[in-house]
Amino acid sequence: MVIAVGLFSVMDAVMKTLTANYPATQVAAMRGLSAMPLVCLYVLWRREAGSLLKIRWPLHLLRGAIGVTMLSLFAFSIRELALAEAYTIFFIAPLLITVLAIPVLKETVKPVHWVAIGVGLVGVVIAMRPDGDEFFTLGALAVLGAAVCYAVSAITARVLSRTDSSVNQVFWTTLMMGCGAGVLAAPHWVSVARSDWPLIAALSVTGFLGLLAMTDAFRHGQASAVAPFEYTALAWGVGLDWILWRTVPDHFTLIGGGIIIASGLYLIRIEQVKDVTVPP
């Protein structure tokens, strides 16, 4: 999940750059379609092409529709907000995943997970500033919608992992997101400038590798334990905002981000202790 978050953060920076010249739905479509050549090569390398049609179609279609909505909303939000601001709002997703994991996945959420997520959300409130004005912008509302979609998609991925391989999930999610967003973007499609093709290539690589890493994260880890590692995105957002746009977060964002990161590190420490403890 840490690797996936880093890759997706770089991908988001590329998407933010592209949204200055292209509609949000077109950027979402380019993100999905540009990754398909790599996905197809991956399927052939794993020799699992024969299993692509042996899937749980309703859940894959649901995840595809959710993915299109999530990408379009998020592409719009990062056009309106700095990456660090968008990420702090998006951090509500781990809590939503934890809540959904209880009835859907029948997971038992450990108290330490609730503590870590709760402390992290306190950091989000601080980062958003006490007056809360940021929550009423269109960009912030779009991030909230994307966070809900992400949580549902993550839970769906966990359910699918019980029967469908990672290859199937990566292939169909990428294809459905690209084609679905492409249909929505078609009426207002803008010709892609030659100078932007390197950015689209970057979308392809980071999007493919990030989706693969995230899929495996939810396959091998308990959803409520894996989700808090999303908090590492704040460090990426602050760094990329400064390097690419010379945007500096205010002290509320920095204090809140510090609390969020501390809660994630605490959870990592607890999980490490649990793994090395030998029962009597």
Owning domain of residue 118: 2-275
Kindly report, residue by residue over 264-274, the tens digit of the pLDDT: 677 666 655 55
What local confidence, expressed as pLDDT, does residue 6 receive?
92
In a domain, 76, yes or no: yes
Kindly report, residue by residue over 28-85, the tens digit of the pLDDT: 999 989 989 999 999 999 888 888 888 889 999 999 999 999 999 999 999 988 898 8
In a domain, 102, yes or no: yes
CA angle 240, 241, 242 (to 5 degrees): 90
| Average pLDDT for the chain | 84
Residue burial 150-175, b: 16+ Cβ < 10 Å; e: rest? bbbbbbbbbbbbeebbbbbbbbbbbb
Q: Are 88 and 124 in contact (CB under 8 A)?
A: yes
Q: What is the total count of domains within the chain?
A: 1
**Statement: the pTM of the whole predicted model exceeds 0.85:** no
Treating both helix axes as pointing N-terminal to C-terminal, what angle do 83-90 and 2-18 enclose, rounded to 10 degrees? 130
Find all residues with CB under 8 Å of 236, minimum gap 6, and list them: 5, 6, 9, 10, 83, 87
Residue 54's CB: how many other CB atoms inside 10 A?
11
In a domain, 280, yes or no: no
In a domain, 105, yes or no: yes
In a domain, 244, yes or no: yes
pLDDT band at 222 (very low <50, low <70, confident <90, very high): confident
In a domain, 189, yes or no: yes
Mean pLDDT of 160-187: 89
